[in-house]
Amino acid sequence: MQKCACDSGKVYKKCCEPYHLGRRAENALALMRSRYAAYKMHNPDYIIQTTHPENPKKEKSDALWKKRVREFSEMTNFEKLEVLDFVDGKEKAYVTFTAHMVQNGSVVTFTEKSEFLKVDGVWLYFDGVIKWGNASKNDFH
Residue 141's pLDDT is 42
2 exposed, middle or buried (CB, 10 Å; 0-12, 13-18, 19+)?
A: exposed
How high does pLDDT run on average in the chain?
92
Residue 139's pLDDT is 56
pLDDT digits (tens, 9 = 90+) for 17-76: 999 999 999 999 999 999 999 999 999 999 999 999 998 888 888 899 999 999 999 999
Buried b (16+ CB within 10 A) or exposed e, 51-66: bbeebeeeeeeeeebe
Contact (Cβ atoms closer than 8 angstroms) between residue 140 and residue 131: yes
3-state secondary structure of 28: helix
Q: Where are the domains of the chain?
A: 12-139
Which residue blocks in 1-141 are alpha helix, DSSP H? 17-20, 28-40, 44-49, 62-74
The single-letter DSSP state of residue 139 is G
Q: At what angle do helices 28-40 and 62-74 cross, to 10 degrees?
A: 70
Q: Which fold has domain 12-139?
A: Nuclear Transport Factor 2; Chain: A, (3.10.450)
Contact (Cβ atoms closer than 8 angstroms) between residue 30 and residue 19: yes
68's CB contacts (< 8 A; 6+ apart) are 59
- 66 phi and psi angles, rounded to 5 deg: -60, -45
pLDDT digits (tens, 9 = 90+) for 98-118: 999 999 899 999 999 999 999
Residue 135's pLDDT is 57
Among candidate residues 113, 111, 109, 110, the one with its CA nearest the CA of residue 128: 113
Residue 134's pLDDT is 63
